Each structure stands twice: as C-alpha cells, then as structure tokens.
Amino acid sequence: MLAYTIRRLLMLVPVLIGMSLITFSIIHLIPGNPAQTILGEQATPQAIAQLEEQLGLNEPYLIQYFDYVGGLLQGDLGQSLRTNADISREIWPFLAATIELTIFAMVFAVIVGVNAGIVSAWKQNSLFDYTAMLIALIGVSMPIFWLGLMQQWIFAQELGWLPAFGRSNPRDPVETVTNFYLIDTLLSGRPDQFWNSFRHLVLPGLALGTIPMAIIARMTRSSMLEVLRSDYIRTVEAKGIHQMTVVYRHGFKNAVIPVLTVVGLQTGTLLGGAILTETIFSWPGIGRYVFDAIGNRDYPVIQSGILVIATMFVFINLIVDLLYSYIDPRIKY
C-alpha cells in the first residue's frame, strides 16, 4: 500500500507542473498588453508601467514563471489588484464556505443516492425501482437555478421553515476561527448559532446535491444489477444468509468501485464552485469569488482561484485512487 501511494504521489508531480504552467499563462494569453487590459484604455503609461512591475511582466517569461512557482511553494498566491490583500488569506473564507456546502451536499447525495440505487437493484422492476429511477431522471434533468428558486419560494417564502440567503444571521455574526461555521459555532459554545448556520446550509446543500444524488443512484443501480447476477451471490444466498446482508455486505462491496469514481468526480466538480447555487442563495463561496474577480478583471485572483480549484480536484482523484486499492487490493498490484 505504501509503495502504491508513493507511486501515485510521484505521478502527481507532472500534473501539478502542468497546472502551474496553465494558470501562469492566463495573464500572458490576454490579447495585447495585459496591464493595459487590466487597467483599461484610459490608463496612463506610468500606471501601466507600475502594474507591469508589480506583476513582474517586465521580466523574461521563464524568470516570471520560476518566481511564480517559488511564491507558490512558499504559500504566496499573489496580491489582489482590487483589494490589495494577500490572496492566500483572502481566499480561505470563500474556500471554507464552499467546502462546508460541498460536504453537506455530498453527504446527502451519497446517503440517498446509494441506498436508492441498492434497493432499486434489489427490487428490480418493482414500484420502488420505477419511482426511484424516475426521480433520479428528473433530478439529472432539472435546472439547478429553477430548483433553487422553487426551494426558496416553498420552504422560505410560503412555509417560512428555512432561510433563503447567506450563511448565518447577519445580526448575530459568527466568531470565526476555522471559517467553517458549523465548527466555529461549536467552538464558541453557541448551539443557537450552530442551529441557525445549519438551517442556512439546508436549502443550498439540497439544491447542490440533487444532481449528484441522481447520478449516484443510477450508477449504483447499474453496478449492483451486474453484481447481483454473479455466481458468488447465488452461492451466498444458497447458504441461507439474510438477504439484506447479501445485498449490502457482499453485493455492494463489490459494486462500489464505479460508485466511488462518480462520488469523487462529483465532489471535485462541486468544490470547483457551484456558481449558480452560490449566486441564488447568496452563498459566499469560491465560485462567486472567482466570478466576481472575472468581472473586476482581477487576474491574480482568477489565476490563483483556478489553481486552487484544480489542485483540490487533483487531490480528490488521488484520494479516490487510494480508496480503490484499499477496497480492492488487486489494484495496487
């Protein structure tokens, strides 16, 4: 297992180098003078020269790249042109908000999707099977912005059960330590704030987790149908073992690899920032952070945001690969 892990980590090196080259090239791919594009047509030559020096654009390409990589290795993501703040510090609250939202959405998607898929395969062609797959089909096809708006209308406006916007009550701000509100409210000994933050998390989390839930349910069903037709499953059933034990312990364990692949890909996608969901629910996540930076032509923020998102996606794929070898030891050989 250790040798396999080391090999997978070494394989990440060229991927990370390629990512750094692509993100570094963003500013250089801007047509014309990047500093002129950032500052606008009315910028003075002095302002353009000052920005070129600030961004290091007056240095040779290779020197700029190595300076960029050197800063990354020290945790320096650069400086925002709009706020003049260090991006490595400024980006963390937005990233933490997206991670918290993604974890909630994926927990919902995995619990509901996996169990729906297992039972649908177990009770193939039953009423539950047809109903679950119909709901999954609707979930995949439903536009996320429409679902979010409908949730706000029903559960926030009409029923008044849940808040529609933000991460917490603005009149009672959370004392941030980790910027994960559910953790920070517990650390500060405020169960009322914890409950309030959790309620703010429900609607965007359910909206964001609907499509992954539907995809996971369909993939689980397909994988389980193949496994449940295997000879060893019939052998286990012939021994008189309880049907639920056969399905969950013996069946799902051998059907989990394709499901795990989908879970990893969906998690990486959601961590990349669900801009529509974050916009509809005013959720201050990484997607909106990068989107606002695009509107403000804050290219260092765009550059760093893309790099952070891509790095998270790569490491999630690494975790999935390591889980493969843990679930099925044959993979690492």
**CATH number where 295 lies:** 1.10.3720.10
Q: Are residues 188 and 50 in the same domain?
A: no
pTM above 0.75, yes or no: yes
Predicted pLDDT at 242: 78
Domain count, the chain: 2
Identify the domain containing residue 163 by its residue range.
95-327
Q: Are residues 41 and 152 in the same domain?
A: no
Measured CA to CA, the distance from residue 232 to residue 22 in angstroms comes to 48
Which residue type occupies 184?
A: D
Predicted pLDDT at 109: 93
Q: In the listed set 6, 38, 73, which residue is the last one of a domain according to the structure?
A: 73
In a domain, 56, yes or no: yes
Q: Are residues 310 and 192 in the same domain?
A: yes
Q: Are residues 66 and 160 in the same domain?
A: no
In a domain, 9, yes or no: no
In a domain, 168, yes or no: yes
Q: Are residues 200 and 248 in the same domain?
A: yes
In a domain, 193, yes or no: yes
Q: Are residues 108 and 147 in the same domain?
A: yes
Average pLDDT over residues 146-164: 88
In a domain, 309, yes or no: yes
In a domain, 126, yes or no: yes
Confidence class for position 47, pLDDT limits 50, 70, 90? confident
Q: Are residues 288 and 226 in the same domain?
A: yes
Average pLDDT over residues 79-85: 80
Confidence class for position 14, pLDDT limits 50, 70, 90? confident
Q: Are residues 27 and 170 in the same domain?
A: no
Measured CA to CA, the distance from residue 19 to residue 305 in angstroms comes to 12
Q: Among 13-22, 198-207, 236-245, 276-285, name the one with the lowest average pLDDT.
A: 236-245
Q: Are residues 142 and 179 in the same domain?
A: yes
Q: Are residues 238 and 275 in the same domain?
A: yes
The number of residues in the chain equals 333
If you ran DSSP here, which 8-state letter would residue 251 be given?
I
In a domain, 279, yes or no: yes
Q: Are residues 133 and 43 in the same domain?
A: no
Confidence class for position 273, pLDDT limits 50, 70, 90? low
Q: Which two tokens stand for residue 302?
A: 């765009």
Q: Are residues 43 and 141 in the same domain?
A: no
In a domain, 78, yes or no: no
Q: Which two tokens stand for residue 166?
A: 């933000």
Higher pLDDT, 88 or 47: 88
Q: What is the DSSP string of 186-241?
A: HHTT-HHHHHHHHHHHHHHHHHHHHHHHHHHHHHHHHHHHHHHTSHHHHHHHHTT-
- 7-15 long-range contacts (CB < 8 A, ≥24 apart) are 8/318, 8/321, 8/322, 9/318, 12/314, 12/318, 15/314
Cα-Cα-Cα-Cα dihedral sign, residues 147, 149, 150, 152? positive
pLDDT at position 146 over 80: yes
Cα-Cα-Cα-Cα dihedral sign, residues 244, 245, 249, 250? negative
pLDDT at position 289 over 80: yes
Confidence class for position 331, pLDDT limits 50, 70, 90? low
Average pLDDT over residues 82-90: 85
